[in-house]
Chains A and B, each alone.
Chain A
Amino acid sequence: MIINSRFFNRSELLGFLALAVLLLLILPLSLDIFRLNLVAKYLTYAFVGIGLVLCWGYGGILSLGQGVFFGLGGYCMAMYLKLEASSVANTKIQSTPGIPDFMDWNQLTQIPLFWKPFHSFPVTVLAILLVPAFFALIIGAAMFKRRVGGVYFAIITQAIAAILTILIVGQQGYTGGINGITDLRTLHGWDIRTDHAKFILYFVEVVLLFGCIVAAQFIRLTKLGRILVAMREQEDRVRFSGYSVANFKIFAFCAAAVFAAIGGAMFTLEVGFMSPSFVGIVPSIEMVIYTAVGGRMSIFGAVWGALLVNFAKTSLSESFPQLWLFGLGALFIAVVLAFPNGLSGIWADRVQPRIDRLLASRKSKSAPGLVADGAPAE
């Protein structure tokens, strides 16, 4: 291998290249801007999926509250965009110009304190990364230090997702309520609603996604990733070996939260609004579904899962709205019962060996003895 053969093994490198060709060449060239924007929307869930692979697939921590972090990232971005869209000139018909429209509708006369930092773009970017990480740190520290895990952790994260949704819907004047934060216009003076902007944002997102893939791969391959796997298999033994299990779990959970938040922020930019319907229990579990379908043990699988399930969702619900939920439910049951490692598991078990055999037989004709490298990917 020419490129750092230890960082990606051969099949991972192929996966990386295939994904890069698909996302950077095939899709932008073949799809119109509306469909490309849809793909961009699907890809925002891939960020969450990558995080889930780390914390669920490798760490064994199933979080049903990833929507919380997705939403926090998305809302941070939306607050910045909304403040920019609510300049005095844009909002002069309101009774209090210069504040977001929903605040005006709810009889607020000035911007609440926690909105103020979002006037500045650098602070917003920092907030997108740090606010979810901070929340994850608190939740994780409280739970993992007391050795709460597994099922209980799943249920409590789910409850947190429910709490945040109810809070956002209830505090209409501060959060935009059930409608969310809508009518976002410009990012630092750059109109994000035009086709051209959407095209550029798509590429920004894909680059960020590859950045996250590389980061996740890095975490996976370091000692930390190995400890995560060890922890998932035999938590007590890792603890007896002297590692602080809780800290590693907290790290994995925080990393997953940050990935999800980046996805959420990109979602706001791509779709142009953010609402509590992307925060609660149902979207959080759907994000887990994408990851499970793609393969909870595979970073690329998570990306493919997000793309394929969402693509199926859009096309099925466009033509057979009745069937979609049946299909999704059945798919999910089938994945859990028959293919616990999802699509990437099927690929590694069924397709990869055949390709390897094909390549091996060709190689052995030209240069016998050079066949080794074909270890199946996870």
Chain B
Amino acid sequence: MFGDYSISDLGAILAMQGFAGLILFSVYVLMALGLAIIFGQMGVINMAHGEFMILGAYVTWMTSNAVQHVAPWLFPGYFFIAMILAFIASGALGMLVEWALIRHLYKRPLDTLLATWGLSLILQQAYRSIFGAREVGVELPEWMMGSWQATDSIQIPINGMFVMALTILITIVVFYILFWSSWGKQVRAVVQNRVMAGAVGINTEKVDRYTFGLGCGIAGIAGSAFTMIGSTGPTAGQLYIVDTFLVVVFGGAASLFGTIASAFSISQTQSTLEFFLSGSMAKVITLLTIVAILMVRPQGLFALKVRK
């Protein structure tokens, strides 16, 4: 397996695969953060999470087209506008869905899974009807193309670095919102004890709606970031949903820190294995390892001790 490579080659391979893993890590973290809020904090299994992500991707694609036609001078920075629009679009749809669907099902978590699966089918078909079945890709502004030559043998793509920086920023914002803002305290209070939170005057319904919206909005940003490294199709969300759930479960459902740690270990394992094995075998081995670990340690890596 290592025979044909010299030590410095191996180092470069490890560094570049490690970086490819970091990009995968960023996508996982962005998707899993939203899901960790919705699933870990609220206990809702949102199978349509991937479709919220794709909505963000399509919004980004539309923004890029619109900016190119209407205001080409804005093009280098269109991505930031697109991200905000994606957050708003996915968040608004999320709040609508919470109002119409999810709030009736808080006591039946398994049923949220089935209902949101139905929702994801509808959204997929809607994307297919509106945007067509073909995958679309956005045009990157010039400053994002190309790569940074770290050493002779190590090249690092700039769009990947941008996605990573974005991930770090979003993660910090989410942590701030949930752990330091007063609204975040309300969210955690509702999660821990809905009845008591209501009794002390927190409007639990409103908190639920905004929490769900926030989770979906972050998925929208994830989709926006996703367009920079891959193309988008109506069913692309489905490819990621199981991975994302595994990331959240593996990390320990209620722990945001666990989510990030598990996203890191899963993406690094997968991208390193991918170099030595075929892509499918790398994925199989990674997933099998996660499932095996979850069978031994069902509560995930970082479990909060909560009395039931």
Contacts and interface: CB of A to CB of B under 8 A. Distances in A.
Interface of A: 62, 64, 142-143, 146-148, 150-152, 154-156, 158-160, 162-163, 166-167, 169-170, 281-282, 285, 288-289, 292, 322, 324-326, 328-333, 336-337, 340
A148 B298 contact: yes
Interface of B: 43, 45, 101, 104-105, 108-111, 113-115, 117-122, 124-126, 129, 238, 242, 245-246, 249, 278-281, 283-284, 287-288, 290-291, 294-296, 298
Contact of B295 (A143, A150, A285, A329): A143
A283 to B, nearest CB: 13
Given A152-B249, A282-B238, A336-B111, A163 B287 contact: yes
A57 B90 CA distance: 34
B113 A146 contact: no
Contact of B125 (A285, A289, A326): A326
Nearest to B45: A151
A331 B119 CA distance: 10
A333 B115 contact: yes
A333 B115 CA distance: 5
A150 B111 CA distance: 11
Contacts of B117: 285, 289, 332
B114 A332 contact: yes
A148 B125 CA distance: 34
A148 B292 CA distance: 13
B118 A336 contact: yes
B281 A170 contact: yes
Most chain A CB within a 10 A radius of its CB, from B249, B284, B296 = B284
A353 to B, nearest CB: 26
Q: Which of B109, B120, B242 has the most CB of A within 10 A?
A: B242
A159 B118 contact: no
Contacts of B105: 336-337
B45 A167 contact: no
Given A155-B245, A281-B242, A322 B109 contact: no
B295 A332 contact: no
B247 to A, nearest CB: 11
**Residue with the greatest number of chain A CB neighbours at <10 A, chosen from B117, B280, B295:** B117
16 contacts: A142-B295, A143-B295, A146-B295, A148-B298, A151-B43, A154-B113, A155-B245, A155-B249, A156-B249, A166-B287, A288-B114, A289-B117, A325-B124, A328-B118, A329-B120, A336-B114
